[in-house]
Amino acid sequence: MKILIINGPNLNLLGQRQPHIYGTESWASYYDLLCQCHSQVTLSCMQSNSEGEIIDALHSAAYGTDYERVDAVVLNAGAYTHYSYAIADAVSAINLPVVEVHISQPAGREEFRRKSVIAPVCMASVSGFGLDSYYLAIEGLLRTRL
């Protein structure tokens, strides 16, 4: 199984940005651990602060244009979660299971973070478990797809 992890805006600052919310571990360190824990899966990842690049990555994941085709996507759209109908439309346009991930628990944060326009078009959502939300999303995909 091939899974693409897409990280949205500001997630390149993991380990530095608001450590009381997002923790102190870097994405690179955690990604290495994910790869070790899921050695039976081919994981790849990309991060972008650009909405268009995230949409292009979703298209490529399904149709193999810029990135290799995959079987599923784990998507942390960051702040785009709350207002990007374009990303929601891209998720709807591809024929892949997509799991929405959040490191924090959006329902317990600011009012604008409490609604996801992406969740309704995703297979599932995982949030509030810190970086382990990614681990749980991958486990969920493995248990339902294999």
Interior angle at CA 16, CA 12 and CA 22, nearest 5: 80
Separation between Cα atoms, residue 64 and residue 43, nearest integer Å: 15
Which is catalytic among the residues 31, 80, 102, 135?
102
Is 22 considered catalytic here?
Answer: yes
Separation between Cα atoms, residue 137 and residue 95, nearest integer Å: 18
Separation between Cα atoms, residue 9 and residue 1, nearest integer Å: 26
Is 20 considered catalytic here?
Answer: no
The answer to whether 14 and 94 are in contact (CB under 8 A) is no
51, 68, 70, 94, 117 from 83: Cα distances, Å: 11, 28, 26, 19, 6
> CB within 8 A of 39, min separation 6: which ones?
none
- Give me the active site residues, please: 22, 102
